[in-house]
Amino acid sequence: AEKTAASLGLDPVIAKSGAYLHDIGKTHPDFQKKLRDHSPSVKISLRHEISSILFLPVFPREQWDTLIDMIIAHHRSPQRDSRSQGILDLVEYEGEKEVFYRHSEGWDDWSPLAVDILNSLGVSAAPVSYIDARKAFSYTIEYCTAKKQGWSVLKGLLIGSDYLASAIAEKTVSVKDKLFQIPDLSYFRSPGRKSELYPLSLRDTNDPRPHTIVSAPTGAGKTDFLMRRCKSRIFYTLPFQASINAMFQRFKDAFPPGTDLRVLHASSKLLVKSKDDYEEKVLQEMIGSSVKVLTPFQISSLITGTKGFEAVAIDVSGTDVILDEIHSYSEIAQALVIEIIRVLLNLNCRIHVGTATMPRSLFDKILELLGGHENTYVVNLSDEILDTFNRHKVFKHNDEASALSVIPEAIEKKQKILIVSNRVKNAQRRFIQLTTQYPETPALLIHSRFRRKDRAALEDLLKSKYNSSIEMPDGCIVVSTQVVEVSLDISFDIMITDTSPLDSLIQRFGRINRYRTQESVKNSIIKEVHVIAPPSDKRSSLPYSKEILDKSFSLLPDGDILLERSLQDKINEVYPSLDLRSISTSSVWNNGKIRLKELCHNPKSVLMQMLDIDSASCICFSDRVAYESGSAEDRISLEIPVPRSALFRSFTNHGRSDFGTNPLIVPDELYHNNFGLTFLESDNFI
């Protein structure tokens, strides 16, 4: 708490007092009884933080407001709490007298112990009389009732500090010196990183404007450029788990040993394989990192005002936030990112946006939010430089059979073949078909519907083996979904893909002929991508819009090179206007001001369900015992992400687990180590 307070310019001494005081209510006999025997109580809910504020008289009166802000809403929102256990909710439902009596019950018997504990911690604590405790309780109610709209830095301070200290326990002292440190970016700024192969490496980043928008093709050096623009702690956001994993591994090699580098997404703990890296696992969600790689959704509580949003706010406040591949989100997710930008600006963040394919309409919206050219360093590459990035010749096919007919020749040439499907079901079908047709050719299937630990292993295998010409001298076949689209560092020789929106297609093409070398640029090496025409109906086009698919396909050349200098105009034609979904009813912000009463937070957000971020999960029947008896990390590793709609499909008779994320339990025969989960309707679903 002292370290966090100092980083925020607050008084570390009062922060330490708040840390000592916030749990002192746990000396209440009924709280101790609950810890011992876990017995349910028929009495009014006992909240230890309410018992804690009865000891406010130990501290100077001028510190009370600060201490209340830190403590009273630490676990429960004072009002509109999901369990109605906040102090104002309890008083409304049970009465002020009854709530005070419950939390001070047996005061003369146990309060001396609490005072002794405070004295042992160095607090000069005199005994607190029953009357003074009652006055402190009444003052707290008056203080909380009088709160206006706003958010509390002090609440965020204690939440963030307490969660961190609880996670690392006795290692707190050794870890705290690394917290809130600005990272060493000398690797990204070293002269050795400059090369004509990466034109952005030659561009100056010393521009006084705080924000950045950089548009450049894959392989132009965007990541280094964005990192060189940073001056503070860094939040680096990417849209997909695979791209986050790849960037995290890349950064581990780039930063000096000991850098507080963290990664955060649904299964990020699986990235840390060594038991010696326990700290790295438990710190992932905590405040104070030097660099954190994550999805924007991990900081979306800033928008929805859900539990812990104040800790996120103090953590991200004043930092450099990189929003990479910002175009890659769905319409509603894109709307969320726009709202996040608005809030980050209120928190004095420097925003840096990177993209290979941003529609002009989205560019204009973001530039407007950032304050226009006056506040934003906008960087593009010239047409002459873009011409050196021409790497793909596009062939259009009316059907799948026509596109797949190029495979025998590619195998003959010992090429690495990448086949990308829009749907998991089609990827599985194609994988079975191709491994049957070409049994001698090494093949791999990767998509989102594997157990998370299996997915992580497949990503490693893809990058280390199937991406290697040494490991795969005779070529290979990899069948995938759009999980390979963004920032996955692989380079194959030929692609066959379903039509997706043009910006998505360009990202997919970036996995072919990816690596720029002096030879590839000098000789203008071009490789083939084969695109299958969109389906004829809207349902089969899902998850994309049929109109967008048709337009994207029509703008592709056929038998000709796709010119990088032409891409911006083509993307603008596909997306002539910005059609952002309104999320105003889910956002707690309006015109830069928060619409929540200070110290309060919202229950679980409907917006997160709309985004399918809180996606459903399954486990195999044979994994049930391991899942239900395992740690949180074990459970994550066994989960299979599925769309929320899967909860309503009849493909299992085993119900749901009562543990973890309450996953569906699916028959083992629906899961295969090579294929992942398949959906087959059950005849006897109840």
Boundaries of every domain in the chain: 2-173, 180-384, 391-562, 615-677
pLDDT tens-digit map of 459-494: 889 989 999 989 999 999 999 998 887 656 788 999
Q: Phi, psi (5° rounding) for residue 403?
A: -65, -40
Task: Band the pLDDT of 283: cuts 50, 70, 90.
Answer: low
> In CATH, what is the architecture of 180-384?
3-Layer(aba) Sandwich (3.40)
Q: Roughly what angle, to the nearest 10 degrees, separates helices 567-574 and 502-509?
A: 140
Interatomic CA distance for residues 455 and 636, integer angstroms: 12
Whether residue 130 contacts residue 104, with contact meaning beta carbons closer than 8 Å, is answered with: yes
Q: Phi, psi (5° rounding) for residue 197?
A: -65, -30
Would the CATH topology of 180-384 be identical to that of 391-562?
yes
Which residue would you say has higher pLDDT here, 381 or 36? 381
CA 141 to chain centroid: 37
Rounded mean pLDDT of 116-130?
Answer: 95
3-state secondary structure of 656: strand
Helix (H) or strand (E) holding 132: helix 130-145
Question: What residues pair up with 262 in beta bridges, in sequence order?
Answer: 292
Return the beta strands (E) in 127-185 as ranges.
none
Whether the pLDDT of residue 108 is over 50: the answer is: yes
For the beta carbon of residue 271, count every other beta carbon within 10 angstroms. Answer: 21
Interatomic CA distance for residues 12 and 517, integer angstroms: 53
Residue whose pair of structure tokens reads 């083992």 in the numeric block? 668
435 is written with which tokens? Answer: 């491994």
Smallest Cα–Cα separation from 604: which of 26, 81, 235, 162?
Answer: 81
CA 680 to chain centroid: 31
Type of residue numbered 496: I
Rounded mean pLDDT of 26-52?
Answer: 85
DSSP 58: G
Whether residue 387 contacts residue 562, with contact meaning beta carbons closer than 8 Å, is answered with: no
Whether the pLDDT of residue 686 is over 50: the answer is: no
Task: Band the pLDDT of 577: cuts 50, 70, 90.
Answer: confident
Interatomic CA distance for residues 33 and 66, integer angstroms: 30
- Residues above pLDDT 90, as percent of the chain: 66
Interatomic CA distance for residues 71 and 137, integer angstroms: 13
pLDDT tens-digit map of 389-438: 999 999 999 999 999 999 999 999 999 999 999 999 999 999 999 999 99
Q: SS3 for 630-658, per residue?
A: CCHHHHHHHCEEECHHHHHCCCCCCCECC
Whether residue 660 contacts residue 627, with contact meaning beta carbons closer than 8 Å, is answered with: yes
Pairing relationship of beta strands 676-677 and 671-672 according to DSSP bridges: antiparallel
pLDDT tens-digit map of 328-373: 777 777 888 898 999 999 999 999 999 988 899 999 999 999 999 9
pTM of the model: 0.88
Type of residue numbered 448: S
Those residues whose C-beta lies under 8 Å from the C-beta of residue 530, and which sit 6 or more positions away, are: 394, 395, 396, 397, 403, 406, 494, 495, 496, 497
Cα angle for residues 512, 513, 516 (degrees, 5° grid): 140
pLDDT of 613: 53
pLDDT of 684: 31
pLDDT tens-digit map of 591-639: 888 999 999 998 876 566 555 554 689 999 999 999 999 987 889 899 9
Return the beta strands (E) in 481-523 as ranges.
494-498
Rounded mean pLDDT of 656-677?
Answer: 92
pLDDT tens-digit map of 242-272: 778 888 889 999 999 989 998 886 554 444 5
Q: Roughly what angle, to the nearest 10 degrees, separates helices 130-145 and 107-120?
A: 80
**Sign of the CA dihedral 494, 499, 502, 504?**
negative
Type of residue numbered 309: F
pLDDT tens-digit map of 208-233: 999 999 999 988 999 999 999 999 99
pLDDT of 650: 60
131 is written with which tokens? Answer: 């009357």
Interatomic CA distance for residues 376 and 371, integer angstroms: 7
Those residues whose C-beta lies under 8 Å from the C-beta of residue 119, and which sit 6 or more positions away, are: 125
Those residues whose C-beta lies under 8 Å from the C-beta of residue 457, and which sit 6 or more positions away, are: none
CATH superfamily of 391-562: P-loop containing nucleotide triphosphate hydrolases (3.40.50.300)
Interatomic CA distance for residues 449 and 494, integer angstroms: 25
pLDDT of 98: 96
pLDDT of 483: 81
Distances (CA, A) of 374 to 210, 359, 663: 9, 21, 50
484 is written with which tokens? Answer: 């390979």
Whether residue 611 contacts residue 581, with contact meaning beta carbons closer than 8 Å, is answered with: no
Mean of pLDDT over the chain? 89
Smallest Cα–Cα separation from 450: which of 238, 635, 620, 613?
Answer: 620
pLDDT of 276: 43
Pairing relationship of beta strands 640-642 and 616-620 according to DSSP bridges: antiparallel
DSSP 154: H
